[in-house]
Structure 1
Amino acid sequence: MIKSCSQFLSKILIPSAMVGITLIGCGSPDTTQQQGDGTLITPPDMVQGGGFLQLMADGEDFIIEGFETKDGWDINFDHVYITVNDVIAYQTNPPFEAESDAPLEAQESVNLIVSPTTVDLMLGRENNPAILVTEIEAPPGHYNAISWQMYNQADGASSLRLLGRAEKDGQEIQFNLNFPMNIAYTCGEFVGDERKGIVNEGETAEIHMTFHFDHIFGDAGKDDNHEVNVNAPGFEPMANLAENGTLDVDLETLQNNLSEEDYQRLENSILELGHVGEGHCRITEDI
């Protein structure tokens, strides 16, 4: 039996005040979609014997619980808004290696997000920080690669916006950090305690986008010479720009006011946000 289009509409978590929802029409059940590289994408209404694939966004316990930066600021977020676009899950053979120069070779792929979608990573819970972004029906198999864009809408939601408060030595700063960078990530298999992305008939699997915010702020729980703390700009350089307990800045303001070294660290750390668990991604800037 062929299911109706409405049975396959994605379930998307979007703060309604931040961004609108684009509805996507259903194609004919006897056609396929084709990407620019020629990879065939199976429409949901063609799935036979498939299961369900959930796209999860994960800021990790690091942001849910709050943390101390490498330079001694206690950070607590109210909202962590990420805008993503063009999210595609792949079954690849050979497995995609993000840190090599080899191309991604997909035998199967499914579109998970096809228009800019903003999620608040603070909707996660302690010990369960990953949030459901969308769920679709997908052909069976192991989805061992994923690509997505952190997407800046010129007249809409920023690709990355952080709101919260920072405290140190009795000083409190309310911050609104707007980082509108366009970045494309292409990532291999999830690296973590359990494998992800294995879709069996009638079952549900997850595929994750993970964001490592210690790359921006550093982590007081790690040694000073740890790679994360060596490369992270921390919060102090930005805190020095606060006025009357408020820090409301974007990248242009920071580029004009931070040292060249601190700004370059910040830009590099934003580029390195995207992961799959602990797995690294191939990065393309200015998409």
Structure 2
Amino acid sequence: MEKSALLVGVGLLVATTAVGCGGQDIAETETPTETDTQAQAPNAAEGGTLELVANGEDFVRQGFVTKDGWQVDFEHVYVNLSNVTAYQTDPAFDPDSSEELQATEEVTLVAQPQTIDLAEGGEDAAPITVTTETAPAGTYNALHWEFVEADQGPAEGSTILLVGTAEKEGQTVDFNLGFDQPLGYTCGQYVGAERKGILQGGEAEVETTFHFDHIFGDAEAPTDDPLNTAAVGFDPFANLAEEGTLTADMATLEQQLPSDQYQTLQQAIAGLGHVGEGHCRLEGDLAQADTPHSEE
């Protein structure tokens, strides 16, 4: 597959731009303090099992309405993960800063590329379990992972492959969109209703989270929400469909989309990676581009 000059390799450059949306109040209240971390670690010296899950959220499992009114339902959402590592850090890693991650423990969860279908299991499915590994006790408050191009399987040639149907006002588009943009993320503490990554014997969970509303927008968010102003929507893809079908890779999209929409798409793809609502630092050249951030 031809690569665009704008596409980036996953490198070792750690930039200062963080990727995230929403959950700012949660992030401030849920992130463990240094005292929390120090108090938890000595309680379970034997360690336990660390489970990695991948979560496309309800946008993937149940479908949603895009910012421009398309009902999108996914049959498959393939992501090709590699080099996933969970860390205990001291001090806590802040993806919104330029500080380097200082690890006191690290556990490799995925060493070789692995393709995950985030839509597997239907609308009521739990996040996908990717792997489990034995790990030392403590609080795993940072996570690194990469998107790499699949060299086999259903997503061959893509880092992300979206397969599904979009409907609007009697028009239906069956789409197969392959993105080959390699990316890397280094993320801080998981942010959500419950803390994750605290291993005190038994089992603890860490999560890679993917916000596909960054690409298509969300009709439930205000029109002027930064999430929507930075999203592509589905209209530009629908305009490329022929007889109700769209099959396209990044090379095709670069040729057929207006250049400003193509650049918006690249930035939106770069904004996918989160840990719950927690932020991730994007690695590579696209880290210098603005990425969508919702205030909700």
TM-score by length of 1: 0.81
Cα distance in 1, alignment partners of residues 126 and 52 from structure 2? 13
Residues 136-147 of structure 1: pairs in structure 2 closer than 5 A: 136-147=133-144
Q: Which 5+ residue runs of structure 2 have no aligned equivalent?
A: 1-11, 13-44, 287-296
Q: Structure 1 residue 66 and structure 2 residue 63: aligned?
A: yes
Q: Work out which structure has the larger RCO, using CA pairs closer than 8 Å and 6 or more positions apart in sequence.
A: 2
User: SS where residue 119 of structure 2 aligns?
Assistant: helix
Q: Check the 8 A contact 2:55/2:127 in 1, yes or no.
A: yes
Q: Distance in 2 between matches of 1:281 and 1:121?
A: 19
Q: 1:159 to 1:99 in 2, by over 3 A?
A: same
Letter in 1 for 2:223: D
1:100-115 pair list within 5 angstroms: 100-115=97-112
Partner of 1:178: 178
1:217 maps to 216
Counterpart code for 1:61: D
Structure 2 Cα separation of the partners of residues 236 and 243 of structure 1? 14
Cα distance in 2 for residues equivalent to 1:285 and 1:249? 24
RMSD: 1.8
Q: Which moved more, 1:156-165 or 1:263-272?
A: 156-165
C-alpha distance after superposition, 1:12-35 (max 9, x if no partner) = xxxxxxxxxxxxxxxxxxxxxxxx
Query: 2 CA distance for matches of 1:124 and 1:90?
Result: 29
**Cα 1:124/1:190, change in 2 over 3 Å:** farther
Larger radius of gyration between Structure 1 and Structure 2: 1
Identity %: 49
Q: Is the 8 A contact 2:187 2:279 kept in 1?
A: yes
Give the aligned residue type for 1:213. Answer: F
Q: Quote how far apart the aligned CAs of 1:73 are.
A: 0.7
Contact 1:118–1:157 (8 Å) recurs in 2: no
Q: Give structure 1 regions of 4+ aligned residues with deviation exceeding 4 angstroms.
A: none
8 Å CA contact 2:189–2:278 kept in 1: the answer is: yes
**Aligned counterpart, 1:158:** 158
Contact 2:61 2:125 in 1 (8 A): no
Matches within 5 A, 1:18-37: none
SS at match of 2:236: helix
Say which SS state the counterpart of residue 105 (structure 2) adopts. Answer: strand
Give the drift of 1:49. 1.2
Query: Which residue does 2:187 correspond to in 1?
Result: 187
Number of residue pairs the alignment of both structures matches: 241
SS in 2 for 1:264: helix
Query: Which amino acid is the alignment partner of residue 216 of structure 2?
Result: F
Q: Which runs of 5+ in 1 are unaligned?
A: 1-35, 37-47
Distance 1:163 1:285 in 2: 27
Equivalent runs, 1:75-94 vs 2, <5 Å: 75-94=72-91
- SS of alignment partner, residue 100 of structure 1: coil
AA partner of residue 122 (structure 1) = A
CA distance in 2 between partners of 1:81 and 1:94 (Å): 34
- Work out whether residues 124 and 130 of structure 1, in 8 Å CA contact, stay in contact via their aligned partners in 2: no
Separation (CA, whole Å) in 2 of partners of 1:259 and 1:90: 41
Offset at residue 128 of structure 1 (A) = 5.0
Asked if the contact 2:115/2:150 (under 8 Å) is kept, the reply is no
Q: Secondary structure at the match of 1:268?
A: helix
SS in 1 for 2:101: coil
SS in 1 for 2:262: helix
SS in 2 for 1:261: helix
Aligned to 2:248: 249
Q: Counterparts of 1:93 and 1:84 in 2: how far apart (Å)? A: 26
- Cα displacement (A) at 1:101: 0.1
